[in-house]
Amino acid sequence: EGDNILLSADYSQIELRILAHLSKDKALKNAFDKGEDVHARTAADIFGGSIDQIDEKSRHMAKAVNFGIIYGLSAFGLSRQLNISRNDAKNFIDQYFLLYSKVKDFMNNTIAEARECGYTLTMFNRRRYLPDLKSDNRQVRESAERIAINSPIQGSAADLIKVAMIRLSRSLKKIKLSSKMILQIHDELLFECPIHEKKEIESLVSKEMEGACRLSVPLVVDMGWGKNWSEAH
């Protein structure tokens, strides 16, 4: 409306940061602690060389594995996604788990715990029940195992942004800004703001979103401004 502008505030790689926190993997945590491009770091460690030598193709392959692991991506799935042989995809995943060995331990332990108690937990203790972990049907059981791995990560990210929204709603009312939180899109919050509140709202949003939960790696929020949603990105 009028001279108002939009602020887009998006958690940067929130699910991978939560994975680093939950798995306690030193290599993954170290990449985030240093503020590195985690996809380029993964590619550099697997293919060799330094981060600044990694080309876009190698980074794209590493990104596919980094995010695919969260969803229990198989070698077959990765081979189709990257248009490579299944053997190459398997080798890539094997290299990933050599690099981030605690991630593999976390995945195995999460499945075992979920099978024993019947559910997974997010960081905020929200349960997801998974009776199919004890199914006699292998495909059904393996699907439940992938859900067991993903739910604590994706579920915690969903919980975390809701905590951030509550904090921001309270803060906006307390300091009586005219800026409004108007939309949540996955890991992103969208605000409509008067231009004169730009500096104040940016500082507030950063503080409340990055302080919504204490992780063992930094929470980072990427921000952009624009007259429309596209421009704000």
Active-site choice (3, 10, 33, 132): 10
DSSP element (H, E) containing 189: strand 188-193
- Please say if 10 is a catalytic residue: yes
CA distance 65 to 42: 9
Q: Which pLDDT score is estimated for 73?
A: 84
Q: What is the pLDDT of residues 63-119, one digit of tens each?
A: 998 988 888 888 898 899 888 999 999 998 999 999 999 999 999 999 999 999 999
- pLDDT score of 9 more than 80: yes
Q: What is the pLDDT of residues 18-72, one digit of tens each?
A: 999 999 999 999 999 999 999 999 999 888 888 988 989 889 989 998 988 888 8
CATH number for region 5-12+160-232: 3.30.70.370
Q: How is the chain split into domains, by residue range?
A: 5-12+160-232, 26-99
Report the mean per-residue pLDDT for the chain.
Answer: 93
Round to whole Å and give the CA distance between 191 and 139.
Answer: 43
User: Could you tell me which residues come within 8 angstroms of residue 136 by beta carbon, excluding any fewer than 6 positions away?
Assistant: none
